[in-house]
Amino acid sequence: MGRTVGANAEDTRRRLLRAAADVFAARGYDGTRVADIATAAGLSNSALYCYFTSRADLLIGALRAHGRRPLADLVARFPTRSVADLLLQTGAALRRRQEPESFLAVEALIAARHHGEVATALRDYTAERADWLAGLVRDGQSRGELDSELSPQAVAHFCLALAAGTTLLGPDLHDVDDREWTELLIRVVTCLAPVHTGEQIGSRT
């Protein structure tokens, strides 16, 4: 049976987003032209514009499709693990050498400072990520794993800021011992837990 038009269109969209993720991660937003992405995807400029309206649209689309989300991946793999443990495991991995796709979010943050269309699109994307994180925190609070007096949005903001900061300040610029970094994170995550469970977090790591 032949492939449908819809299936072909979806394949083309995926190919464009893959190409956009690779090119933006390698060259940055200002160093990338729409034509570069079209060429990498094996398409013409006019074909590209049938799917995406601008560079900003491509950048945020690539971020949605290929941006690294280690915490979300862990939640999907270990749905019954406590939120505190998931945060600790994710934080411990953040300072390691990052894959090129990890820099998509950084490139978007940099571009947002100088391009209003990127800032608008990134604001919506960031709000979605923050809301997802806040929901994860609320789930942990409802199960008694996290302090119920904590602001879920504040915890979400801290997680987003830590992820962005550790991507920028990678081991090539400043390294730290894995054990020392993990011990620091244990103290931070313990502060998020109710007093009666705080000691359990450190004992499980």
Identify the CATH number of the domain in which residue 123 sits: 1.10.357.10
Domain assignment present for 34 = yes
Q: Are residues 180 and 119 in the same domain?
A: yes
Domain assignment present for 60 = no
Q: Are residues 164 and 106 in the same domain?
A: yes
Q: What is the domain count for the chain?
A: 2
Domain assignment present for 61 = no
Tell me the per-residue pLDDT of 149-182, one tens digit each, with 9 for 90 and over.
Answer: 999 999 999 999 999 898 888 888 888 999 999 9
Indicate left, alpha or beta for 90 from its phi (over 0: left) and psi (-120 to 50: alpha): alpha
Q: Are residues 142 and 42 in the same domain?
A: no
Residue 170's alpha-carbon distances to 21, 67, 72, 102, 173, in angstroms, are 20, 17, 21, 11, 6
Domain assignment present for 36 = yes
> Taking a C-beta distance cutoff of 8 angstroms, is the pair 16, 37 a contact?
yes
Task: Assign 3-class secondary structure to 109-161.
Answer: HHHHCCCHHHHHHHHHHHHHHHHHHHHHHHHHHHCCCCCCCCCHHHHHHHHHH
Mean pLDDT of the chain: 88
Q: Are residues 51 and 74 in the same domain?
A: no
CATH of the domain at 50: 1.10.10.60
Domain assignment present for 21 = yes
Domain assignment present for 160 = yes
Q: Are residues 77 and 176 in the same domain?
A: yes
Q: Are residues 173 and 88 in the same domain?
A: yes
Domain assignment present for 153 = yes
Q: Are residues 41 and 96 in the same domain?
A: no
Confidence tier at 83 by pLDDT (50, 70, 90): very high
Range of the domain at 46: 5-55
Tell me the per-residue pLDDT of 98-112, one tens digit each, with 9 for 90 and over.
Answer: 676 778 988 999 999
